[in-house]
Amino acid sequence: MLKIANLEAGYGALRVLKGVSLHVNAGEAVAVIGANGAGKTTLLKTVAGLIKSRAGEVLFDDRSLGHLRTERIMSLGCCLVPEGRHVFGTMTVRENLMLGAYGLPRSARAQSSEDLERIYSLFGILKERDKQLAGTLSGGQQQMLAIGRALMGRPRLLMMDEPSMGVAPLVVRDIYRTVEELKQHGLTILLVEQNAHAALGVADRGYVIETGQIVLQGTARELMDNPEVQRAYLGKEYRRIDE
Ligand code: ATP
């Protein structure tokens, strides 16, 4: 569904992505894990058309996204849940969700109230807080709202930028349970995370990005069993030979 080949992008003189290649098959959940500053956000923003690539190619359903604007990319079914959520704090939960349907064609927008109910059944807390201002929600609830808002755009590929960031550990579990549920319903997911444990727990496959380059790839199991990944991203120490 998504194919990224030799992608290069950056800011001014700063080269961030240095020839990134990866793919996501339909129905898969794929995780890109990496440390702070490795280029994860830049990668998703480039796919979403928020940053212009300098070289390489992004294909969505074999169609090049290279010169398309973000609204067009979204309307093709490629939606981003941004890092830091970016919900509209002075609007209600419902208004934030309805904004997610803004780019849909008129015929699909007519079914927005059914979509809204589906999202409320996925995130019960959003239904309870329907009329509450988004700015008064907790970090975890805002994350759920940002995911819900992206789902209102009826994505086929949902890209998520660090859904665990700034969220309490128990809530991270809830959010990832929902990601698992979305995957079970057939949604294709590309997520980037520093929290390798959470991301590899739900992903089928994964990539490790370091300073703008993919340095490892494999099934989620292979990555979780990899001693380098365990040491650098899963918080496990190497055992000394004499231990
Ligand atoms: P994080 O976990 O902090 O989000 P990341 O892996 O998503 O990390 P990016 O946000 O893609 O990393 O940043 C990659 C590099 O690009 C970093 O060195 C960062 O300082 C730099 N960078 C990010 N955004 C900008 C910007 N708007 N202007 C200049 N440099 C930027």
C-alpha to C-alpha distances, 2 to 59, 64, 103, 241, nearest whole angstrom: 6, 10, 21, 43
* Average pLDDT in the chain: 91
3 state DSSP class of 219 = strand
Written as one letter, the residue type at 15 is R
CA of residue 42 to ligand 1 center, whole Å? 6
In this prediction, residue 243 carries a pLDDT of 45
In this prediction, residue 171 carries a pLDDT of 87
Residue 215: Cβ within 10 Å count: 12
pTM reported for the whole predicted model = 0.90
In this prediction, residue 85 carries a pLDDT of 76
| Distance (Å, whole) CA 147 – CA 67 | 26
For residue 169, pLDDT over 50 is answered with: yes
| Mutation to probe ligand 1, out of 18, 40, 214 (largest number of atoms < 8 A from CB) | 40
- Match 């990899």 to its residue by tokens: 226
211 Cβ below 6 A of ligand 1? no
C-alpha to C-alpha distances, 214 to 93, 173, 178, 234, nearest whole angstrom: 37, 27, 27, 18
Q: Which whole number is the average pLDDT over 133-149?
A: 93
90 Cβ below 6 A of ligand 1? no
| Distance (Å, whole) CA 189 – CA 204 | 10
